[in-house]
Amino acid sequence: MLAPVRVYLSGPMGAGKSTVAAVLADQLGTRAVDLDARVEELTGQAIPEIFAQQGERAFRALEKQALKTLPSNAGVVSLGGGTVVDDETRQMLLREGILVTLTAAPAVLAERVGKAEGRPLLGQDPLGDLEHILKVRGAAYAEAHAVIDTGTLETDEIAAEVVAVRNRSPIAVPLGLRTYQVEVGRGTRHRVGIRANEHSQGDAILVFDGGDERPWPADAIRDLTLAGKPPIEVRLAGNEAHKNVASVEQVWDTALDAEVDRRAIVIGVGGGVIGDLTGFAASTLLRGVALGQIPTTLLAMVDSSVGGKTGFNRPRGKNLVGTFYQPKFVLCDVETLSTLPREERIAGLAEVVKSAWLDSEESVAMLERDAEALMAGDADATIRAVRMSILLKSRIVHEDEHESGRRMLLNLGHTVGHGLEAAGDYRGIRHGEGVALGMIAAMRVAARLGRGRGEETERLTRLLGRLGLPTDLDERLNSRVLGFIGSDKKRRGDRIHFVIPRLPGQTEVELLGLDEVRGALDET
């Protein structure tokens, strides 16, 4: 049974929010609340009066107050047409419940609102005003767990779609009109045909790795074919040694030989290497076509599939050539982890620990409680861990898509981790194992520069060990590893943006000298 979760209905006037809310609440056995009515109840004034006397800005502040005082049994909330325009309010709603935008064409909305009496934002030309409202608010309305066009649907049909969204409980990566949803659970991979048709009217190019022992590419081929999109297949070697431009060229050339056009969609099925290569190929093929991701490793689910980073390796270091290019959808199906070697699955837990430490004490404590279950591959514990990681990443990406500030926090453990990988020519250590050791190294730098305490290092090391991850940093550090730190893409001349972990939820980024970092790590 699903845990109680509040559903917020957003969208322009005339979209049917209040009507749908009542039907939806009845279906869910809960109470519907109209936010405008709640504001009127709290202020003792009608909405037009508030607008006339205090203005729209004051009204939005009253909406915030009303949201904080909603009855606990209000399971469905019909929002005002402009409630989500405020970014802080919108992100709060995305975090705390399921936010669904109901919309329709301007002409449909204008017909529904009629003469627009009691609508303070509409004047003598309701159609023109509604067109303007949709244009101005378009990016805010797009940042939702789903957008439903109510123009041709009956109320019961709309409510059923909202219930389906609630049941899927997707995670929204809020990037305005480029917002996309990440679906996490069991069996989500089978939605690839539906999602591909939603986002592309052209050919599907399926990029994957692995042999016949991994059935997930075959599943995707079958599901896409059943959806009327039999894919063009590209099989790559999905390891770091082949994360190069030659692999990207294979995707380009296969797609171009098939004469695809810009309506095409490129879909990656595999681990982080496949995801990065697929993303880069999609971002550059015909100057950019749609992208979908089906990560089949834990590492790819919690890291590379979300956030839009693409790239490939060069002799000087890892991921030194790439782009930022967001997918249209991400399907994280924990069933695909069943064929993953145990060591690979456990390596992916390093990025989960990283996310938890960046997020909060609550998230770290959750991993400590779930450590044995995560080691054993328990599906429920894995879903909790994946969702926590993606929720954190979605918030950070919203604030800093192109890694110019806060997103640098996601590099915790990666500076030294990438150095360990590069020093082994991407064969001696898995990425997750490198990140685990890199986090211990970051703790050491923090402690030796007076930014952290030994207790945090011990706690982090203990958690990594309980999850089966390596903690033997001293045995692996050498001059070659330290040398690769200077090739990190976060370097600025002879300094580097280094992620300094403190208590959970209190990690910072500092610009440190390369020699300062190397010295802190080289001390005995």
On whether both 18 and 144 belong to a single domain, the answer is: yes
**pLDDT value for 523:** 62
Q: Is the pLDDT of residue 41 over 70?
A: yes
User: Of the residues 169, 195, 227, which one is the last residue of a structural domain?
Assistant: 169
Residue 45 lies in a domain: yes
**pLDDT value for 248:** 96
CATH number (domain holding residue 218): 3.40.50.1970
Structure tokens of 213? 């022992």
pLDDT band at 3 (very low <50, low <70, confident <90, very high): low
What percent of the chain clears pLDDT 90, i.e. is strictly above it?
79
Query: What is the number of residues in the chain?
Result: 524
pLDDT band at 483 (very low <50, low <70, confident <90, very high): confident
CATH number (domain holding residue 472): 1.20.1090.10
How many Å apart are CA 117 and CA 238, to the nearest integer?
Answer: 61
Residue 373 lies in a domain: no
Model confidence pLDDT, tens digit, residues 372-427: 999 999 999 999 999 999 999 999 999 999 988 889 999 999 999 989 988 888 78
What percent of the chain clears pLDDT 70, i.e. is strictly above it?
96
Does residue 220 contact residue 295 with C-beta atoms inside 8 Å?
no
**pLDDT value for 1:** 38
**pLDDT value for 250:** 97
Number of domains present in the structure of the chain: 3
Residue 370 lies in a domain: no
Tokens 């950070």 belong to residue = 396
Average pLDDT over residues 451-477: 93
Q: Is the pLDDT of residue 474 over 70?
A: yes
Residue among 459, 456, 461 nearest 436 (CA): 461
Contacts of 102 (CB under 8 A, 6+ apart): 9, 10, 11, 15, 16, 17, 20, 148, 150, 158
On whether both 149 and 184 belong to a single domain, the answer is: no
What is residue 109's three-state secondary structure? helix
On whether both 238 and 323 belong to a single domain, the answer is: yes
Q: Between residues 449 and 142, which one has the greater pLDDT?
A: 142
User: Of the residues 135, 152, 169, which one is the last residue of a structural domain?
Assistant: 169
Mean pLDDT of all residues belonging to the chain: 93
Residue 393 lies in a domain: no
pTM for the whole thing? 0.92
Amino acid (one-letter) located at 359: D
Average pLDDT over residues 511-523: 86
User: Of the residues 315, 340, 365, which one is the last residue of a structural domain?
Assistant: 340
Structure tokens of 277? 């290569």
**pLDDT value for 494:** 85
On whether both 34 and 126 belong to a single domain, the answer is: yes
Does residue 21 contact residue 77 with C-beta atoms inside 8 Å?
yes
Q: Is the pLDDT of residue 42 over 70?
A: yes
How many Å apart are CA 105 and CA 298, to the nearest integer?
Answer: 41
Average pLDDT over residues 236-249: 90
Contacts of 351 (CB under 8 A, 6+ apart): 298, 299, 302, 303, 389, 432, 435
What is residue 153's three-state secondary structure? coil
Residue 68 lies in a domain: yes
On whether both 432 and 486 belong to a single domain, the answer is: yes
On whether both 60 and 160 belong to a single domain, the answer is: yes
Tokens 């990988």 belong to residue = 421
Strand ranges across the sheet with 74-78: 31-34, 74-78, 6-10, 97-103, 146-149
Model confidence pLDDT, tens digit, residues 318-374: 788 999 999 999 999 999 999 999 999 999 999 999 999 999 999 999 999 999 999
Strand ranges across the sheet with 265-270: 171-173, 180-185, 329-333, 290-295, 265-270, 204-208, 232-235
Model confidence pLDDT, tens digit, residues 162-193: 999 999 999 999 999 999 999 999 999 999 99
Model confidence pLDDT, tens digit, residues 278-308: 999 999 999 999 999 999 999 999 989 999 9
Specify which residues 495 forms β-bridges with: 492, 513
On whether both 233 and 282 belong to a single domain, the answer is: yes
pLDDT band at 238 (very low <50, low <70, confident <90, very high): confident
Residue 79 lies in a domain: yes
Specify which residues 171 forms β-bridges with: 182
For the stretch 217-227, what's the b/e string if a residue is b when 16 or more beta carbons lie within 10 angstroms of its beta carbon?
Answer: bebbbebbeeb
CATH number (domain holding residue 128): 3.40.50.300
Kindly state the helix (H) or strand (E) to which residue 331 belongs, with its residue range.
strand 329-333
Residue among 310, 275, 311, 309 nearest 401 (CA): 309
How many Å apart are CA 491 and CA 180, to the nearest integer?
Answer: 31
Kindly state the helix (H) or strand (E) to which residue 40 belongs, with its residue range.
helix 35-43
On whether both 116 and 164 belong to a single domain, the answer is: yes
Contacts of 451 (CB under 8 A, 6+ apart): 445, 500, 502, 508, 510
On whether both 317 and 183 belong to a single domain, the answer is: yes
Residue 439 lies in a domain: yes
Residue 350 lies in a domain: no
Structure tokens of 364? 């770290």
On whether both 199 and 250 belong to a single domain, the answer is: yes
Structure tokens of 185? 């659970």
On whether both 165 and 182 belong to a single domain, the answer is: no
How many Å apart are CA 254 and CA 233, to the nearest integer?
Answer: 8
On whether both 266 and 208 belong to a single domain, the answer is: yes
Average pLDDT over residues 253-274: 97
The domain of 154 spans 6-169
**pLDDT value for 524:** 44
Concatenating the DSSP letter of every residue in 401-440 gives TTSSSGGGGGGTTHHHHHHHHHHTTTTSS-HHHHHHHHHH
Q: Count CA within 13 A, CB hemisphere, residue 423.
A: 19
